[in-house]
Amino acid sequence: MTTLRLILGDQLNPRHSWLSTTNGEVVYVLMEIRQETDYVLHHAQKILAIFAAMRDFARQLRAAGHRVDYLAIDDTENRQSLSGNLDALIARYSASAFAYQAPDEWRLDQQLASYAQQLTIPAQMVDSEHFYTQRNEAAQFFVHRKQWLMEYFYRHMRIRHEVLMAGAAKPLGGQWNFDHDNRKPWPGLPHEPVDWRSQHDHSALWQSIEQAGVASFGAADAERLAWPLNRGEALQHLDQFIARSLPHFGDFQDALTSRAWRLFHSLLSFALNTKMLDPREVVASVEGAHASGRVPLPAAEGFIRQILGWREYVRGVYWANMPGYEAQNFFDHQQPLPPWFWDAQTKMRCLEHAIGQSLEHAYAHHIQRLMVIGNFALLAGLDPHAVHRWYLGVYIDAIEWVELPNTIGMSQFADGGQLATKPYVSSAAYIDRMSDYCKSCHYDKKARLGERACPFNALYWDFFARNSERLSANPRLSMVYRQLAKMAPETLVATQARASELRHGMATI
């Protein structure tokens, strides 16, 4: 009487209750399949790191005495799909039952639910035992509220889980967030910490991935892959982040610079989103570091807000709006991605660096994603679905439940304001204030017209002029529209003509 238990590539949690005891009648199944490499074009490091982490997880399971059936990408018996492989494995083991952990992507949830329903043996879905909240919990919280404001949800989570609290409903330090204090540009000091991550040589695995015909983009860096591949490495990573970077994280979490690609960011999202780390232990470690005096409150609060607040919130947005959320297009933007999204060959220094870093490291921090790449994509009218697929593919931590609301809702405002209270766009002024990008750019950050004028400037005013019927009633944009109303008609005409030139000549910007 054999039970098959499926573990997906983002379910690498060695502390799941499934694994608390060994059972010779249970076979754990992990599989590297073209279904998952090919549904969107992925960054090479994303494919490589997930496969390497899956193989390490299977090794740990075997060492702990569990039975494991692992299908490698180049295995001759690999049918390259979940259902095809599961059919074969159920037959091979004469399995009497099938179980799987709740997937975090809607398409996999639907596929496995449909598959389980048609089986002639008992099938069960269990919780992944990872998140603070259940799938529908955020929707229940917001059911009587007009808008899904994250701040309300975040405060609710702080109180419920007693995180950074000074008593009943009283936040530590007398305020709920220190976002205003956490917006400093980086002057070059303190220095970016030395990269503490362990490097791994997975050249052989990468060769097998390529030989299997898997398409990808970006730098594989297979000889020195630096992402944590198991829980032990992830815990060391967490400790190093708290000791070396977290004290400065708050001040510079929004800073942009061409002189560093990590700055004081944690780079823990890959380990979290593959469930090597539990968000509770991350929050507890950060809270403890503040309590012991090692980390200032604004830094601790700013980081905890990302985990306890934003991460759980966007998951709630995702499950409340699927299916169909990915197809929303409030502004009816249709422009295809310019070619430099794939090679970073643009004269705009900010985009060259942010996209180039993404292609090299499969990583960019949240302001690079939102206020550089996403900002340009929205102002230029790029197709939000194409933007979503690029973000989903390029970033090491991009699992659809977290990436899709961040892209469609926060970055591209394609949901019409369900998630964000306004479009997050800016002219060159914001980028110049928060970065050193503009100092070495081909374009003039202050100019709006002319070949050397920064494209952000004309695109910014054109965006609001084109979308006045949709946006002018938004109270958070009243100042923008007052400024637009004061603009001389001939200046606006010239600005919109320049923006049209930019949109039609996107490939050569």
E strand or H helix that includes residue 99: strand 97-101
The alpha-helical segments, DSSP class H, found in 94-149 are: 106-118, 137-141
Contacts of 63 (CB under 8 A, 6+ apart): none
Furthest-apart CA atoms within the chain: distance in Å: 80
pTM of the predicted protein model: 0.96
Provide the pLDDT for residue 146.
82
What is the phi-psi region of residue 439: left when phi exceeds 0, alpha when psi lies from -120 to 50, beta otherwise? Answer: alpha
SS (H, E, C) 382-411: ECHHHHHHHHHHHCCCCCHHHHHHHHHHHH
Q: What pLDDT, on the 0 to 100 scale, is given for residue 183?
A: 84
3-state helix, strand, coil in the chain (%, to 5): 55, 5, 40
Question: How far is it, in rounded angstroms, from Cα 182 to Cα 109?
Answer: 37
CB 471 within 8 A of CB 462: no
Q: Which one, of 134, 136, 141, lies nearest residue 155 by Cα?
A: 141
Task: Give me 294's structure tokens.
Answer: 């090692």
C-alpha 274/C-alpha 292 separation (Å) is: 29
pLDDT in tens, the chain (509 residues): 899 999 999 999 999 999 999 999 999 999 999 999 999 999 999 999 999 999 999 999 999 999 999 999 999 999 999 999 999 999 999 999 999 999 999 999 999 999 999 999 999 999 999 999 999 999 999 998 888 999 999 999 999 999 999 988 899 999 999 988 778 999 999 999 999 999 999 999 999 999 999 999 999 999 999 999 999 999 999 999 999 999 999 999 999 999 999 999 999 999 999 999 999 999 999 999 999 999 999 999 999 999 999 999 999 999 999 999 999 999 999 999 999 999 999 999 999 999 999 999 999 999 999 999 999 999 999 999 999 999 999 999 999 999 999 999 999 999 999 999 999 999 999 999 999 999 989 999 999 999 999 999 999 999 999 999 999 999 999 999 999 999 999 999 999 999 999 999 999 99
Q: Report CA torsion sign: 139, 137, 330, 152.
A: positive
Q: What pLDDT is stored for residue 167 in this prediction?
A: 87
Token digits of residue 117: 């329903």
Say what the pLDDT of residue 387 is: 98
Q: Are 5 and 18 in contact (CB under 8 A)?
A: yes
- Taking residue 234's Cβ as centre, other Cβ atoms within 10 Å add up to 24
Cα–Cα distances in angstroms (integers) from residue 456 to residues 186, 434, 447, 478, 496, in the given order = 22, 15, 10, 20, 12
CA dist list (Å): 8 to 33, 50, 281: 11, 10, 22
Question: What is the pLDDT, as a whole number, of residue 325?
Answer: 97
Contacts of 288 (CB under 8 A, 6+ apart): none
CA 465 to the chain's CA centroid: 31
Alpha carbons 208 and 214: distance in angstroms, whole number = 9
CB atoms within 10 A of CB 382: 24
- Eight-state DSSP code of residue 373: I
Radius of gyration, CA atoms only, the chain: 24
Domains detected in the chain: 3-126 (3.40.50.620), 137-196+230-321 (1.25.40.80), 339-508 (1.10.579.10)
**Residue for token pair 């929303």:** 328
pLDDT of residue 308: 98
